[in-house]
Homo-oligomer: A and B are copies of this chain.
Amino acid sequence: MILDEKKRTTLADVAVAAGVSKMTASRALRGAGDVSKAKADRVRQAAKEIGYVGNHLASSLSGKRSDLIGVVVPSVENIVFAEVLAGIADGIEGSDLQPVFGVTDYDLDKEYDVVRNMLSWKPAGIIVTGLDQSDATKRILENADVPVVQIMDVDGIPVDACVGLSHFTAGKEMAEALLKMGRKRFAYVGCGLDRDTRAAKRLSGFQAALSENGLAFVATRIGRARSTVKAGRDLSAEVLASHPGLDCIYYSNDDLAVGGAYHCIANGVAVPDELVLAGFNGLDLVDSLPIRIATTRTPRREIGRAAAEIVLNSNHGGGVGTERRKQFHPAIDIGV
């Protein structure tokens, strides 16, 4: 069987078909200069006819960078990061960049491995979650000669560029808003704070606002499990049982807060009159909840898109013009 050769068509095939050299074909297809319009058209035509698809591996190896864009997130199950991914997908739409992702499980050593591994693809850019990597990770990022965008957080010094919001401020502003509503007896419910440094920053911002007003948390419940609706429901039940008279619970995020809402609905706790629940993120499922809870609306998708655009610009125009620090100022929704 001589027919049905499995071999993919290569640039050389295109060149032969168009009657030019490989180099000219390469230039024509990339839109690089130094090709006459006539030949460029012939090349494009030939490529289309024989169904040529470039080999990304070859061009990436040869060229300075690849068409891959590395995305490092702590978890993909968390809808927040899924939405960030969606934003990134939006941002690179039409640019033939492709996202590769790595998951760290909030583990700094794993993060180092993932980043290191990612860099060996010579990505066009790398987007990592948070500003608080280990020193070793930051070092390889700095030396990598690749645009680095740290996302979600801006409370700190970025390696290169960062896009996100101040979690300290977010926590503080939420506390101030709740204080203005007249709330006085606060509890805090959170999960995984030792690993999620952004949640910890929100907490300290919240606490700062409380102590400025001579207050402090009446109760604190920090779970070690993942942040889930179920965990929120359980922890809320515990804290409400052990500390009667609370008038507000601040959660480390919406998932937990929704769990709290479920508990209140099931047990007839009047929300928000008797008790105000406050989360963080402004997820879809919060909006349609039969009761209203407070939350900070984070622009997840926009953050992803902005990060992708920074990478794009860095590759396109040399990256000098781009903003190195893009801070969003999320709105607070008090829940009526």
| A-to-B contact residues, CB < 8 Å | 6, 53-58, 60-61, 66, 68, 75-79, 81-83, 85-86, 89, 96, 98-103, 116-122, 143, 145, 228-230, 232-233, 258-259, 262, 265-266, 284-285, 287-290
State the number of copies, please.
Answer: 2
Nearest CB in chain B: distance from A256 CB, A: 11
Q: Provide a sorted-by-A list of 18 A–B residue pairs whose CB atoms are within 8 angstroms.
A: A53-B116, A53-B117, A54-B120, A56-B117, A57-B60, A68-B100, A76-B82, A76-B83, A77-B79, A98-B100, A98-B101, A98-B102, A98-B118, A229-B284, A258-B285, A258-B288, A262-B290, A265-B265
Kindly report which residue of chain B lies nearest to residue A288, judged by CB atoms: B229
- Selected from B81, B83, B101, the residue in CB contact (under 8 A) with A99 is B101
Kindly report which residue of chain B lies nearest to residue A83, judged by CB atoms: B77
In this complex, the member of A60, A82, A85, A143 whose beta carbon has the largest number of chain B beta carbons within 10 angstroms is A82
Nearest CB in chain B: distance from A14 CB, A: 14
A229 close to B287 (CB less than 8 A): yes
- Selected from B57, B76, B98, B262, the residue in CB contact (under 8 A) with A66 is B57
Which residues of B sit under 8 angstroms from A101, Cβ to Cβ? 85, 98-101
Which residues of B sit under 8 angstroms from A121, Cβ to Cβ? 56-57, 98
Q: A6-B145, A58-B61, A101-B101 are in contact. Are A96 and B82 (CB under 8 A)?
A: no
Kindly report which residue of chain B lies nearest to residue A75, judged by CB atoms: B86
B284 close to A266 (CB less than 8 A): no
A76 close to B54 (CB less than 8 A): no
Kindly report which residue of chain B lies nearest to residue A93, judged by CB atoms: B103
Which residues of B sit under 8 angstroms from A75, Cβ to Cβ? 86
Complex CA distance for A103 and B91, rounded to whole angstroms: 12
Complex CA distance for A259 and B289, rounded to whole angstroms: 8
Complex CA distance for A265 and B290, rounded to whole angstroms: 6
Nearest CB in chain B: distance from A238 CB, A: 15
A288 close to B265 (CB less than 8 A): no
Taking A75-B86, A89-B103, A266-B290 as known contacts, 18 extra A-B pairs with beta carbons closer than 8 A to each other, sorted by chain A number, are A54-B120, A56-B121, A57-B120, A57-B121, A57-B122, A68-B100, A76-B82, A77-B79, A77-B83, A78-B82, A81-B82, A86-B103, A98-B101, A98-B117, A99-B101, A100-B101, A229-B287, A258-B285
Nearest CB in chain B: distance from A268 CB, A: 10
Complex CA distance for A265 and B145, rounded to whole angstroms: 55
Which residues of B sit under 8 angstroms from A81, Cβ to Cβ? 82
Q: A77-B83, A143-B6 are in contact. Are A285 and B285 (CB under 8 A)?
A: yes
Which residues of B sit under 8 angstroms from A122, Cβ to Cβ? 55, 57
Which residues of B sit under 8 angstroms from A117, Cβ to Cβ? 53, 56, 96, 98
- Selected from B61, B86, B103, the residue in CB contact (under 8 A) with A61 is B61
